[in-house]
Amino acid sequence: MDTLINVAHGFGVALLPVNLLYCFIGVFIGTLVGVLPGIGPISAMSLLLPVTLSGTPESGIIMMAGIYYGSMYGGSTTSILVNIPGEAASVVTCIDGHQMAKQGRAGPALGISAFGSFIAGTFALIALMLVAPKLASVAIAFGPAEYFSLMVLGLVVLTFLTQGSMPKALLMACIGVVLGLIGLDSITAQPRLTFGRMELIDGIGLVPVVMGLFGVAEVLLNTEQAIKRDIINTRITHLLPTKEDWKASAGPVGRGTILGFFLGILPGGGAVVASFASYALEKRLSKTPERFGHGAIEGVAGPESANNAAAGGAFIPLMTLGIPPNVVMALLLGAFVIHGLQPGPLLITQNPGLFWGIVASMYIGNVMLLVLNLPLIGMWVQLLKLPYNILFPLIILFTILGVYCSSNNVFDVYVMIAFGIAGYFMRKLGYEPAPLVLAFVLGPMMENNLRKSLILSQGDLWTFVQRPISAVCLIFALVLLIAPLLPSLRKKRELVALDEGA
């Protein structure tokens, strides 16, 4: 009953005209960046982070959330029609989605992807409404040791799932922690690694780091090769899937939704992992696995549902524990912090309007996305024809302006360019930036909790093992660290390892 009252309160907030407008802007921009290859939700969210300052916290966070789940919808359009993933979570949709389009079944592929996404998004929201308050009440009992161990686990899971060698991913995470510690020490107020520059006293901003590593570096990589686009030119019809399509897709949508939701909750997991896991699961369960890769609708329905459910599930650790499970949620945490809010166990009780308003807006956003993605498909197809040689200078211009506006400081533009160049060379040498960014956000929180727990326990390291939740997290992290040393587990890791940042 309480949940229903809270949901009604949330809809009261989300249906305010200004919040509806921000929600629409968010899902529209999300679909746009999902459709356009070369710019993803991370770049778009960091670009728009400063814009959230202009309105209420609800409006800003509603918009940011809209960009995230909107991009999950939009990404499938590019994968199906052009065979280029609009964003990383849609990589797997290219395999069967584009084959369906080539066989003249672009309509059903787009249709099932939109409906599957809608169903998964709705399920994820209902689960979020039911799980989040319960988890928040448990999380109140968390001490610094639990928080520290949970963050360690989150980082280890992300490094485990990152493409390439694990030592490289762990090295990136360590660099991220160090970068996050630049500036004044929160306990002793001593400047650290500032090299005497006043601009570094407050630390390096999240926006220039993310824009550099994901925006500028991505553009640098894309300019290496002329992007060829094999756009399906035939008229897209029959967007509503047939009875047979629904029959084939019902199982994959259901399984993808549940799998995606749970993978989304896990620290370090996310939409990309979920979509690949769902594809692998459907292929394994199928009686005719040989159809996969040749236009099987299950290969579109499952992963697209999974990535949307994961996008919803990822809000749980952020909202209830204050720990972002992936880079996108780290940016959303940035939006909370900009408004002086701290997501965590007390958010739901202290700011019920904000929490339930965001949840309700996500449901409204999902409906908006269904409307945006099906009838307006022609418009998105036209947009895909915008040449990349015109698009990338505009992306560079937007990143420069976005970074400058976030702090009104030219120094941040230099930081972004430096990280852009570093990010390009990192990618070329096989170092993924996602662990670095997550560690950059978690680093100061980890240090704080580690020092607090050491002070509280009077230097007794057993405190991390004596507390059950902390112990479980550390044991799980240890298992993941050891796993790549075992050949059979290494092979499995390589199968699921992904380019989270693309």
Partner 1 sequence: MTNQTNVKLRLSNSELWGGLIGLALGGFVIWSGVKLKLGTINDPGSGYVLFYTGILMCVFAGTIIVSALTDGAPTLASRWENVRWSKPLLLIGCLVAFSIALEPLGFLLSSIPLMLLLLRLIDPVRWTLAIPIAVLAPSGMWWVLKRLLLIQLPSGLFGIG
Q: Two tokens at 374?
A: 């099906």
- Applying CB under 8 A, which of residues 7, 250, 383, 405 lies at the interface with partner 1? 405
In single-letter form, the type of residue at position 267 comes to: P
| Cα torsion through 52, 53, 59, 65, rounded to 10 | 30
Binding to partner 1 (CB under 8 A) within 37-66 occurs at 54
Report the alpha-carbon distance of residue 172 to residue 227 in Å, rounded. 29
What are φ and ψ of residue 296, in 5° steps?
-80, 125
The site that binds partner 1 (CB under 8 A) totals a number of residues, namely 60
CB closer to partner 1, 262 vs 388: 388
- Applying CB under 8 A, which of residues 410, 479, 482, 495 lies at the interface with partner 1? 410
Q: Which of the stretches 25-33, 41-49, 355-363, 388-396 binds partner 1 when contact is defined by CB under 8 A? A: 388-396
Q: Which of the stretches 67-75, 184-192, 197-205, 335-343 binds partner 1 when contact is defined by CB under 8 A? A: 184-192
Binding to partner 1 (CB under 8 A) within 417-456 occurs at 417, 420-421, 424, 428-431, 446-447, 450-451, 454-455
**Sequence-distant (≥ 6) Cβ neighbours of residue 44 within 8 angstroms:** 29, 30, 32, 33, 67, 71
CB closer to partner 1, 289 vs 393: 393
229 contacts partner 1 (rule: CB under 8 A): no
CB closer to partner 1, 5 vs 456: 456
**Sequence-distant (≥ 6) Cβ neighbours of residue 64 within 8 angstroms:** 26, 45, 48, 49, 52, 331, 332, 335
Q: Tell me, rounded to whole angstroms, the distance of Cα 260 from its chain centroid.
A: 13
Q: Which of the stretches 72-80, 238-246, 250-258, 387-395 binds partner 1 when contact is defined by CB under 8 A? A: 387-395
Cβ 227 vs Cβ 37: under 8 Å: yes
| Cα torsion through 257, 260, 261, 266, rounded to 10 | 170
Report the alpha-carbon distance of residue 64 to residue 321 in Å, rounded. 19
In single-letter form, the type of residue at position 159 comes to: T
Q: Two tokens at 472?
A: 């479980």
Q: Which of the stretches 165-173, 237-245, 319-327, 494-502 binds partner 1 when contact is defined by CB under 8 A? A: 165-173
Q: Residue 124 CB, nearest distance to partner 1 (Å)?
A: 34
Q: Two tokens at 188?
A: 């002793």
Cβ 200 vs Cβ 193: under 8 Å: yes
Q: Residue 388 CB, nearest distance to partner 1 (Å)?
A: 7
The residue ranges that bind partner 1 (CB under 8 A) are 54, 165, 167-168, 170-171, 174-175, 177-178, 181, 185, 187-188, 190, 192-193, 216, 219-221, 223-226, 387-390, 392-394, 396-398, 400-401, 404-405, 408, 410, 413-414, 417, 420-421, 424, 428-431, 446-447, 450-451, 454-455, 458-459, 461
